[in-house]
Amino acid sequence: MSRRNCFQHGFYRIVSVLMLLFVMAVSGGCSDEGAQDDRPNFLFVVSDQQHYQALGVVDEFFITPNLDALAGQSVFFTRAFVSSPQCSPSRSSLYTGFYPHNTGVIGNTGSIDADGNKIGQLSDSLKTIGEYLKPAGYRTAYIGKWHLGEVGQHARGYDVQHFDTFRGGDNTSDTDKSKLAMAFLAERGEGKAHPPFALFLNYTNPHDIYDYGGFSNPEPVKELMQGVKLPQSYYEEEFAEKPRVQSLYMEVDTGKHFKDRPDDVWKTYRGFYRDRVRQFDTELGKVIQALKDAGEWERTIIIVTSDHGDMDTRHRLVFKGPFGYEQVIRVPLMIRVPQSFGMVKPRKESAMTVNVDILPTILGFAGLPAAVGDGASLKPLLLGAPDDTWRKEVVVEYYNKQKWVHPIRVIRSDRYKYADHLVGMDELYDLQQDPGEIHNLIGDEGHARVREQLSRRLDAWIAKHSDPFYRLKATDREGKPVAPGDAL
């Protein structure tokens, strides 16, 4: 063998050894099919339309024993926000780690943008979480609501596929989703070595609140309204200081069936919503028990959150719409990391998170590069490391509903919230003095400096993230263009 060939042979041998070591590292050090992979499993559960207070551990009005128990064993993030208070945009962030303006899913798929075009599906050019984990040796499963258009090439990231794409929503009951998840977990109890798994389980409830008043005039239901109290903001809200879109939503849009209805109808709404939250909790309990039965409880990182909230009669508003209130942008988030993977102890955590943080968190625990998307890994916070550089404010995006385009950007700090409406009145709230967000201070000269500071910081965020907010266009409910000075 010539000296040159000998050198080449040695070089290629070294490269081959290095590649083998890399593959072994990615697969957790497995050298044969039966070896144990020491990386954690992931159970990622997403409810639909559950606001941050819709937990018994936060508000005893709600009946959620399984969520409450899990919260007590987790890092329970008390200030968790979504990238957008809508299904499709938020889910695009949950599964890619990017804000909606970067995923292209700026509104619900199939809704109409300001140019009269339908908002399309999640692009194949972006990876979803399964597309990172499956090639790294994870057995992946996606069950339930997708709401990101056709699945397309994203299906390649999931070994087990039960994507609900019917009209962008669901055609599988939550009970059946639990059965599918339990069957997947039962595979783990067969007494043989398995690769780590990542199960993404997407429930419908409490989104079924739309069955009460979403499509026709609701009537009081005695069993549901019994013992229900309406929140303070229900009685205090007059809409006089608020953007016109809010009262318009209740007069002629999705909230119209509640206009001028008696308190008993609103109480029934709350009771109905509570019941749908309870149903979600029941299904979650089944899956957690199946995880324990499979012997995987102490090997699984559990993440439970929601894609957005619900107004739940606050401010005399229902469902979700062109609002930036806490009830729609703030959600539950609990993450249980077993001790074997480094969690110090369960606790409440006040750091402000956005759902774009979840994908890099999962990647970090899986031993994969976590610098993906617009968020940051929560792993250091979960493992108890102090982080003085953690964000001090969050930004939330809103675009449209059906063909009504009303872009909003919300910036929320510890104390203040500023909502920049592309057209119409803006909003400013002092959350310390007015946690119910009743008094809009946007025109208060005493808060002009605060307004200016928040506006400047929002502008900086928009520039940093290449957000096209100020280049967007708005329309009325019929899809006709609206200029900044026009009446809505």
* In the chain, where the domains are located: 41-392
Nearest 10 degrees: Cα torsion 294, 298, 300, 306:
100
Pick the closest to residue 396 from 461, 473, 446, 442 (CA basis): 461
Q: What share of the chain is helix, strand, coil (3-state, %, to 5)?
A: 40, 15, 45
Cα(386)–Cα(214) distance, rounded to whole angstroms?
Answer: 45
Please enumerate in sequence order all residues whose Cβ is within 8 A of that of 419, keeping only pairs 6 or more positions apart, or say none.
324, 408, 409, 410, 426, 427, 428
CATH superfamily of 41-392: Alkaline Phosphatase, subunit A (3.40.720.10)
First-to-last alpha carbon distance for the chain, in angstroms, is: 82
CA angle 117, 120, 123 (to 5 degrees): 140
Pick the closest to residue 128 from 146, 108, 110 (CA basis): 146
Each residue's pLDDT tens digit in the chain (488 positions)? 333 333 333 333 333 333 333 433 444 434 334 456 899 999 999 999 999 999 999 999 999 999 999 999 999 999 999 999 999 999 999 999 999 999 999 999 999 999 999 999 999 999 999 999 999 999 999 999 999 999 999 999 999 999 998 655 678 999 999 999 999 999 987 666 789 999 999 999 999 999 999 999 999 999 999 999 999 999 999 999 999 999 999 999 999 999 999 999 999 999 999 999 999 999 999 999 999 999 999 999 999 999 999 999 999 999 999 999 999 999 999 999 999 999 889 999 999 999 999 999 999 999 999 999 999 999 999 999 877 889 999 999 999 999 999 999 999 999 999 999 999 999 999 999 999 999 999 999 999 999 999 999 999 999 999 999 999 999 999 999 998 777 66
How far is residue 444 from each of residues 247, 408, 428, 438, 447, measured CA to CA in Å?
Answer: 22, 21, 9, 14, 6
